[in-house]
Amino acid sequence: MSQTYYLPQSNEVELFSAAAQMNLPVLIKGPTGCGKTRFIESMGEQLGRDVYTVVCHDDLSAADLVGRHLISEKGTYWQDGPLTKAVRNGGICYIDEIIEARKDTTVVLHSLADYRRVLPIDRTGEVIEAHPDFMLVVSYNPGYQNVLKGMKPSTKQRFISLSFNYPKPEIEKEVLIKESGVNAQTAQKLVDIASEIRSLDDTDIQEAVSTRLLIYAGKLITKGFDPYQACMHSIVESLSDEEDVLEVLQKLITLHFAKSSDV
Amino acid sequence: MKMLHYWLEFEESMGKVWDKYLNKKVHKFHEDKRVYFEDISKPLHIFHRLMGGEKAKELQITDKRYVETSRTLLEKISFLGKEFFLTWQDEESVYLPASFAYFSTKQENEMLYYWLIAMAAQIENVTNNSFIEKNQQAMYYLTKRYSGFDVFYKSASQYLMDKYEQLSFLKSLDEQSNQDLIDDYPNPLWIYPPSITLSYANNVDSGDEELTREEDKDKSEELHMKKQANQIDDKHETDGFLAFLPESLMSIFEQVNVDRCEDDSFDEDALYHAEDLDEITVGQKQANLSARIKMDLELLPDNTVTYPLGKGHFVDEWDYKRQDYLLKYARILPQVTLNVIPIELPRRLKKTVKKIQGELDLLQLDRIKNDRLPYGDELNMDSWIEYMSHQNKSMHHQNFYTTYEKKTRDMSTLLLADISLSTEGGITQELRIIDVIKDSLMVFSEALEKLEDKFAIYTFSSLQNKKVYFNIIKNFKDKYDALIRGRIESIKPQYYTRMGAAIRESAKILDKQQSANKLLLIISDGKPNDEDRYDGRYGIEDTKKALQEIKKKGITPFCITIDLDAKEYLNYLFGQNGYAIVRDGQKLPKVLTEVYINLTK
């Protein structure tokens, strides 16, 4: 029985399951907060595999993925990194925001992502063959444009790709009700606000409001916060620092959650 | 005489008082709570996009419109209540009144703008026959969806109906929608059909028009509103009044197409008069080329000399029809401008530069960590443990240290600016594309100087494959200083855009740099083209090929363009993440730096 709540949008569950069966690595693209990580967690539960998540950053080295020697009373010993653990024991190794990692780091994935499915570890001299239940999943947000940080084509072309976007309004509404406990009417308002903000393009705001932020707003409302306050702190302030944009977003929230004293 | 003067003055001041009294009585406005469009135009623009209005649409100020209403006695006495500022829209813009003072609070007057914007985003193509229905629909939609608008609409319409009795027809609109009713009094909460507009503008010979505009540049002011317009047929050339008898003059002449009846001196108050007119009537007579006089004026001579550096060299060009290279086909002519006057950073750019440099200061706080050094700031435990755990220590270097150093970005950037003749075109009446490109180059240089990134600036233009001019503004070794600014200032638009050749030449220069990251930033205002076959697909395919070549060399190309129709070919040339379109050319200096920082952060 799955614990994590995830509402499928189209055929992503079938595709992912098929890829898992056929030992194919998966690449997931999509904006922040649209449900990528949630999807992987839910798939891990459905497939009965552990999920090892690594969130990438500038300083992430190959050792952070593969493992390193540590020191103990008896001397040094080798400790597996999350990738090596998944390779040895089986499970889903989910490498989030892979674009943030240094290019030389991601090269260790190459031999795992093709037919070989092996992980060579230089420091211990091992070549580990992947467990039959091992699956490699990476994700990134194509919205962040950075030429010096783009994904190497040689890495990209080893994956089955799935594109994610914000959920359709009806699905998002259902997610909101389930996750934050707001009533249907408030959920509808929050979804309306989101769809309007998402109609702005990147000249106005860098990235539109995520489902995650809507859930935060919903949670604050259920907790007893005034809807206007809840939206201001979870949605408006998180989206932009520009005064004009803030003014308009604030106006939008007032329009949706008006009290007669506001207008 | 003195008495008369006194009497006139008295009458005038009495008139003013009476006028003020009537205005106050009739208009019922709250002047001290007036809200101006100009003050909130930026949020309104964003709100328009947010409400789903067409993104390319502009928001502008509308002119008053004459409406035949039933007027009160006071209105009739005061000649008021005939003209109204009504909101309407066409394909290009939404036209809004310049200010509102209907309501007793600023908040409500401001809200009226937001309401009208939301209405305009809902309503499209209103006509005289459909506009009541469409306004009603939009009103229902907005009040149902937004409780804020619901509250506003209820109180606003109630207030307006109380103040302007003629508006009470709104109450009965649900039952009947009678066209006659709306002439009673225009409703400030509605979107109205467009007024008669100028259809003749399209028929003017555009080339000729351009020239006139260019010459009158400093005299022209813009009328910031849309006027009702009418058109007369004044093409007959015999209407001119002949003020002298030609027989009395000993002269040889040809008939010249000059219309003597018009006063061609510049009217200083034209803008003022235009604003005041109910309707502007436009003739069809075109400017007369042969009647113009050209003369040389005693202006400061341009002392700059473009100096060729060598006889040039050749680069290949891709012929997509043959699917092969034309070897050594395009001739690159490197040149440099001499005798330029060194200049300081122009005052108009100082604010932008300061702002950008402030942002860059934050970037520089990042330090870079260097691991596995034989000496350094901190002992790196990982390296030490690794060393200790190694069986064969003789093969292992004892590099146990980590240092933190100021971030060196290891970047070389070559900025390639297209200075073809099309950049002579105007963004506004005062500002040409080339001016914006020059400003961009200066602001960008200031930013890169601050970042301590290595950079070079080149411009290019071409005359067929025989002459591809490649001007050096700053090479990688030059220091950015007043002289470089002078060179940027001396850039002049010329010829065409053979982009492929310029890209290949830039790649050669970038290739020699030792940096790990190499970026070629191209600023352009349109498609690659030249006066030979290098136009359309041929030019695009060659440019595409050149870009592929440089990518193989590890150079990242990125294009910034001011060409609004650019999307299709740019996507093909640079890929989805390889370009940026700057819609407002004047923002180019700022955008360029931002793009660069985002690209290399």
Interchain pair A197, B558: CB under 8 A:
no
Residue A48's pLDDT is what? 94
pLDDT-derived band at B16, boundaries 50, 70, 90: confident
Sheet holding B191-192, edge to edge: B191-192, B87-89, B93-96, B58-62, B225-226
Residue B7's pLDDT is what? 83
Counting residues of chain B whose pLDDT is more than 90, the rounded percentage is: 25
User: To the nearest whole number, what is the mean pLDDT of chain A?
Assistant: 88
Q: How far apart are CA A186 and CA A192, in angstroms?
A: 10
pLDDT-derived band at B109, boundaries 50, 70, 90: very high
Residue B181's pLDDT is what? 54
Q: Phi-psi region for residue B335, left (φ > 0), alpha (ψ -120 to 50) or beta?
A: beta
Interface membership of B38 toward A (CB under 8 Å): no
pLDDT-derived band at B216, boundaries 50, 70, 90: very low
Where is average pLDDT lowest: B25-39, B64-78, B134-148, B494-508? Answer: B64-78
Q: Inform me whether the pLDDT recorded for B174 exceeds 80.
A: no
Q: Inform me whether the pLDDT recorded for B199 exceeds 60.
A: no
**Mean pLDDT confidence for B343-348:** 89
pLDDT-derived band at B75, boundaries 50, 70, 90: low
Q: How far apart are CA B51 and CA A197, in angstroms?
A: 9
Find which of B44, B45, B46, B391 to mutate to test the A interface (most A CBs within 10 Å of its CB).
B46
Where is average pLDDT lowest: A24-33, A216-225, B170-179, B438-447? Answer: B170-179
Of A145, A245, A258, the CB nearest to B147: A258
Q: Inform me whether the pLDDT recorded for A115 exceeds 50.
A: yes
A93 contacts: CB under 8 Å, gap ≥ 6: A52, A54, A82, A83, A86, A87, A134, A135, A136, A137
Interchain pair A252, B50: CB under 8 A:
yes
Domain positions in chain A are 12-163, 169-254
Q: Inform me whether the pLDDT recorded for A200 exceeds 90.
A: no
Give the 3-state secondary structure of residue B94: strand
Cβ neighbours of B382 in A, within 8 Å: 63, 68-69
Interface membership of B43 toward A (CB under 8 Å): yes
Find which of A100, A154, A248, A253 to mutate to test the B interface (most B CBs within 10 Å of its CB).
A248
**Mean pLDDT confidence for B483-498:** 92
Interface membership of B111 toward A (CB under 8 Å): yes
Write out pLDDT tens, residues B522-555: 998 888 889 888 887 888 889 999 999 998 888 8
Integer angstrom CA distances of residue B91 from A173, B41, B57, B194, B420: 35, 19, 7, 10, 31
Interchain pair A256, B147: CB under 8 A:
yes
pTM: 0.64
For residues B508 and B461, the answer to whether their CB atoms sit within 8 Å is no
Interface membership of B583 toward A (CB under 8 Å): yes
Residue B588's pLDDT is what? 81
Closest by CA position to A141, among listed A131, A151, A152: A151
Question: Beta strands B378-379 and B401-406: pairing type?
Answer: antiparallel
pLDDT-derived band at A27, boundaries 50, 70, 90: very high
Interchain pair B148, A192: CB under 8 A:
no
For residues B371 and B383, the answer to whether their CB atoms sit within 8 Å is yes
Comparing alpha-carbon positions, the chain B residue that sits nearest to A76 is B389
pLDDT-derived band at B418, boundaries 50, 70, 90: very high
Q: How many CB atoms lie within 10 A of CB A37?
A: 18
Interchain pair A263, B369: CB under 8 A:
no
Cβ neighbours of A192 in B, within 8 Å: 145
Q: H helices of B146-255, where? A: 147-163, 179-182, 206-215
pLDDT-derived band at B205, boundaries 50, 70, 90: very low
Interchain pair A76, B389: CB under 8 A:
yes
Cβ neighbours of A146 in B, within 8 Å: 598-601
- Tallying the residues shown for chain B, one arrives at 601
Residue B210's pLDDT is what? 36
Closest by CA position to B191, among listed B145, B111, B137: B137
Write out pLDDT tens, residues B460-490: 999 988 999 999 999 999 999 999 999 999 9
B517 contacts: CB under 8 Å, gap ≥ 6: A148, B409, B410, B411, B412, B556, B600
- 3-state DSSP of chain A: CCCCCCCCCCCHHHHHHHHHHCCCCEEEECCCCCCHHHHHHHHHHHHCCCEEEEECCCCCCHHHHHEEEEEECCEEEEEECHHHHHHHHCEEEEEECHHHCCHHHHHHHHHHHCCCCEEEECCCCEEEECCCCEEEEEEECCCCCCHHHCCCHHHHCCCEEEECCCCCHHHHHHHHHHHHCCCHHHHHHHHHHHHHHHCCCCCCCCCCCCHHHHHHHHHHHHCCCCHHHHHHHHHHHHHCCCHHHHHHHHHHHHHHCCCCCCC
Q: Inform me whether the pLDDT recorded for A223 exceeds 90.
A: yes
**Residue with more model confidence, B249 or B141:** B141
User: To the nearest whole number, what is the mean pLDDT of chain B?
Assistant: 77
Interface membership of B240 toward A (CB under 8 Å): no
Cβ neighbours of A263 in B, within 8 Å: 107-108, 111, 148, 151-152, 155
**Would you call B327 exposed, middle or buried from its count of C-beta atoms within 10 A (0-12, 13-18, 19+)?**
exposed
Residue B406's pLDDT is what? 57
Q: Measured between CA atoms, how close is B379 to chain A, in angstroms? A: 15
Write out pLDDT tens, residues B245-287: 555 555 555 555 555 554 555 555 666 666 666 666 655 555 4
Residue B414's pLDDT is what? 94
Q: How far apart are CA B214 and CA B206, in angstroms?
A: 12
Question: Beta strands B555-561 and B579-581: pairing type?
Answer: parallel
Residue B119's pLDDT is what? 95
Cβ neighbours of A70 in B, within 8 Å: 385
Q: Inform me whether the pLDDT recorded for A259 exceeds 70.
A: no
pLDDT-derived band at B302, boundaries 50, 70, 90: low
Where is average pLDDT lowest: A129-133, B304-308, B557-561? Answer: B304-308
pLDDT-derived band at A144, boundaries 50, 70, 90: low
Find which of A77, A243, A263 to mutate to test the B interface (most B CBs within 10 Å of its CB).
A263
Which residues of chain A have a Cβ shorter than 8 Å from any chain B Cβ?
Answer: 59, 63, 68-71, 75-78, 123, 142, 145-148, 150, 192, 196-197, 199-201, 203-204, 244-245, 247-248, 251-252, 254-258, 260, 262-263
Which CATH entry fits the domain spanning A12-163: 3.40.50.300, 3.40.50.2020, 3.40.1800.10, 3.90.1150.10? 3.40.50.300
Q: How far apart are CA A118 and CA A129, in angstroms?
A: 4
Of A59, A147, A252, the CB nearest to B558: A147
**Mean pLDDT confidence for B394-403:** 76
Q: Where are the beta strands (DSSP E) in B46-195?
A: 58-62, 64-66, 83-85, 87-89, 93-96, 99-100, 191-192
Interchain pair B46, A252: CB under 8 A:
no
Q: Inform me whether the pLDDT recorded for B15 exceeds 90.
A: no
Integer angstrom CA distances of residue B153 from A255, B141, B150, B600: 12, 12, 5, 49
pLDDT-derived band at A120, boundaries 50, 70, 90: very high
Closest by CA position to A29, among listed A165, A210, A163: A163
Q: Inform me whether the pLDDT recorded for A262 exceeds 50.
A: no
**What tokens does A217 get?**
């707003």
Residue B571's pLDDT is what? 73
Q: Measured between CA atoms, how close is A164 to chain B, in angstroms? A: 18
Residue B545's pLDDT is what? 92
pLDDT-derived band at A101, boundaries 50, 70, 90: confident
Cβ neighbours of A203 in B, within 8 Å: 583
Interface membership of B351 toward A (CB under 8 Å): no
Where is average pLDDT lowest: A57-71, B130-144, B487-501? Answer: A57-71
Q: Residue type for B12, please?
A: E
Query: In the beta sheet, which residues pair with residue B378?
Result: B402
Of A145, A199, A260, the CB nearest to B49: A199
Residue B175's pLDDT is what? 52
Write out pLDDT tens, residues B47-73: 998 998 876 677 889 888 777 666 666
CA atoms within 13 A on the CB side of B532: 10
For residues B232 and B282, the answer to whether their CB atoms sit within 8 Å is yes
Q: Measured between CA atoms, how close is B41 to chain A, in angstroms? A: 10
Interface membership of B386 toward A (CB under 8 Å): yes
Interchain pair A147, B599: CB under 8 A:
yes
**Enclosing H/E stretch for B223:** none
Q: Inform me whether the pLDDT recorded for A256 exceeds 80.
A: yes
Query: In the beta sheet, which residues pair with residue B335?
Result: B308, B471
Q: Measured between CA atoms, how close is B598 to chain A, in angstroms? A: 6
Cβ neighbours of A72 in B, within 8 Å: none
Interface membership of B530 toward A (CB under 8 Å): no
Residue B225's pLDDT is what? 62
Of B42, B108, B598, the CB nearest to A146: B598
Comparing alpha-carbon positions, the chain B residue that sits nearest to A192 is B145
